[in-house]
């Protein structure tokens, strides 16, 4: 009986400590080019706890891998907005948006069309 109790306690301790604090998420971020990609990924990686960030120019999907004990999606989205890019939930202010290079102004239809050619 003693052995079973010890094994049960060890198993419970292992399961408790083995729980992962790392999470994955995919969010949509507005942008149009490789400069946008660099800016978006750098903003994410500057957020404490973000381990990797990969933004796809064509799909506008940002794939994140982050430590949920150090950050959360709202903090990451806020950092992206401060770099001048919109997410579905948090939009960059006009001042933040205008800080991006003129060829990266994704809200401008002419710029979007230029990148689609």
Query: What pLDDT score was predicted for residue 9?
Result: 66
Per cent of the chain over pLDDT 90 is 73
Helices (H), 1-117: 2-18, 34-45, 73-82, 94-98, 109-116
* Predicted structure pTM score: 0.80
Alpha-carbon gap, residue 56 to 53, rounded angstroms: 10
In tens, the pLDDT along 41-97 reads: 999 999 999 999 999 999 999 999 999 999 999 999 999 999 999 999 999 999 999
């Amino acid at each position: 009986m003693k052995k079973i109790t010890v094994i049960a306690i060890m198993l419970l301790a292992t399961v408790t400590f083995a729980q992962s604090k790392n999470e994955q998420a995919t969010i949509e971020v507005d942008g149009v080019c490789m400069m946008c990609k660099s800016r978006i990924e750098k903003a994410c990686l500057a957020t404490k706890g973000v381990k990797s960030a990969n933004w796809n120019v064509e799909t506008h999907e940002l794939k994140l891998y982050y430590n949920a004990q150090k950050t959360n999606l709202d903090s990451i989205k806020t950092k992206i907005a401060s770099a001048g890019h919109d997410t579905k939930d948090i939009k960059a202010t006009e001042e933040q948006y205008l800080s991006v290079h003129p060829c990266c102004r994704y809200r401008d239809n002419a710029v979007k069309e230029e990148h689609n050619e």
